[in-house]
Amino acid sequence: MENLQVFHALLLHWRSKGTSKCKVSKRDGVANRTSQTQGGVTTSCTLDNDDELAATSGGFSNSYGYNANGEQTSRTLSGTSYTLSYDYEGQMTSIGGASFACDAVYGRGVVFLLRT
């Protein structure tokens, strides 16, 4: 799951180019993020019964889907859908969307995304 979180952080960074880097996050009693304000825009977070991010609304309107192992298998970011695939060890192997596909390669503790 950690590798997926790293990728998600990279994707969010890519999507937020040109906006303020200052972020304020609000969390609930068990440290789940409930909202985030960046550049004056607040995005609210909705969690599923397993405390996985299910959707965001406000600044970013996104949704997320998971398999039985808790691995994120789909995401829709501002209307664009992506599919994520994993190997038998639970490491992400690829992510694809309408106009691109990437393979994930692991090495030296870093995830490399290779456009295919």
- Domain ranges within the chain, ordered by starting residue: 2-115
Looking at residue 106, its pLDDT comes to 74
Segment 82-106, tens digit of pLDDT: 898 888 888 888 888 766 677 777 7
Cβ partners under 8 Å of residue 16, min gap 6:
38
d(CA 112, CA 103): 8
Average pLDDT over residues 12-40: 68
Whether the predicted pLDDT of 109 surpasses 60:
yes
> How does residue 30 score in pLDDT terms, banded at 50, 70 and 90?
confident
Cβ partners under 8 Å of residue 94, min gap 6:
84, 85, 101, 102, 103, 104, 116
